[in-house]
Structure 1
């Protein structure tokens, strides 16, 4: 009897990331010791113990080589969006998504700090970093745009989604840069939560975005003795009050 074929995708994915990280470590070592311009792809491959063709199976250029985890991190961020609870505010969802990026950097603080210093010194690496940031912004913009009701803002939905997504990414990067400048020391998670709270206060009240959350509800007892109100903590006070007034009117 034929045996079922076992999936090897997890092992393949793990091996792929392992090789990418080896190449990234080799590239960083050479960039620091020889300089970016003087380092060749052949030298990176040789230092990592792989063939030149293996290098190009993983990276298109040497500047791409010191960012080995962004592809996988982008997929994890997308998975957060795809699995978001039905009634979660989309701004909260995007904030959880971008936290996958911070986890990536925080997993290896020393490497992250060294990479940050290199990107400050080498324009080509800085451009690659900017391109990576743009990928996250496009992902989050697309997600937020999908949360708007059709024509909810007279055609301004693309602008609002892009601005909100960029604000979340900017808040994240602001905290990340400060943490890297401190050599990866400090409570970066608490700082990130504080930054996200500012973004939420700014954007969470957008009617079209907040519409995914259940509206406030008020229930009055049959004898009119008890009134129970259920509302999200970020629901506008005026909306909560209108709900209460309507419930009292219905019971009058």
Structure 2
């Protein structure tokens, strides 16, 4: 413990935030809440920094003290969900054939997540279309997510076979999750959700088991 901490009796990391710090956190929280609400209501493209600041009852200048752009705010929100994809996809990870039940668990969780966050995910897809360089960063990031989520599955392959297995999984994730997004933004809730879950599970499971089966055939 430092001398200063010893005198105060409080460790540096345990000190209470100052009133100024609390106010700053409150302002940031209001900006984030306003951004999420406006992205859902108007979409990413139509929402401006001025809109967000006004909705948060603050100024444009104050917005820029917290975020350099509306894309930075969206990225801040997205970072709160960063662990979701690897953890969910990891349900399918394994050496050898993956049980169909685990694939179905992943698909069901994917549908749940995309239904719950459809408007926010829609804002990300809009941002990809208009923000220079964002799309180019998305695919490499997805490759990293797949590497994190499937260490045992990808560990079965080497060299070009590993590259192919990873690329297949990236494409599978993109196709699966983009379908889920369009499903939940085209209508409030699909009446035939169980049927769609079963169909999606079959498609994903066939790809995963076919790639794993190639090891036995080699």
| TM-score normalised by length of structure 1 | 0.52
| Cα distance change of structure 1 residues 127 and 199 upon mapping to structure 2, 3 Å threshold | farther
Q: For the residues of structure 1 that align with 2:185 and 2:132, how far apart are their CA atoms?
A: 15
Matched, 1:171 2:176: yes
> How far, CA to CA, are the matches of 2:114 and 2:193 in structure 1?
11
Q: Could you report, residue by residue, the CA deviation over 1:19-44 in whole angstroms, capped at 9, with x for unpaired residues?
A: 52322213555669xx73xx541332
Q: Which residue of 1 aligns with 2:212?
A: 207
Q: CA RMSD in A?
A: 5.1
Q: Distance in 2 between matches of 1:206 and 1:54?
A: 52
Q: Provide, for residues 78-126 of structure 1, a one-character-per-residue CA deviation record: whole Å limited to 9, x for no partner.
A: 34467888779399768756765543432266x469x47x939x94179
Q: Please give the residue correspondences for 1:149-188 in structure 2 after superposition, counting only pairs within 5 Å.
A: 149=155, 152-188=157-193
Q: Return the index of the structure with the highest Cα Rg.
A: 1
Matches within 5 A, 1:53-92: 55-56=63-64, 59-63=67-71, 65=73, 69-80=77-88, 89=98
CA contact (8 A) 1:175 1:191 kept: no
What is the aligned counterpart of 2:32 among 10, 16, 20?
Answer: 20
1:148 to 154, 157, 160: 154
* Contact 1:144-1:165 within 8 A present in 2 as well: no
Q: Secondary structure at the match of 1:204?
A: helix
Q: CA deviation at 1:154?
A: 4.9
Shift of 1:191: 1.5
Q: Which runs of 5+ in 1 are unaligned?
A: 211-235, 239-252
Could you list the runs of 5+ residues in structure 2 that have no partner in the other structure? 1-8, 17-21
- Contact 1:41 1:62 (C-alpha < 8 Å) held by counterparts: yes
CA contact (8 A) 1:23 1:44 kept: yes
Higher helix residue share: 2
Q: Describe the shift of the 1:196–1:149 C-alpha distance in structure 2 as closer, same or farther (beyond 3 A).
A: same
TM-score with structure 2 setting the length: 0.58
Report the alpha carbon displacement of residue 198 of structure 1 after superposing the two structures with TM: 1.0
> 1:61 and 1:17, CA in 2 relative to 1: closer, same or farther beyond 3 A?
same
What is the SS of the residue equivalent to 2:150? helix
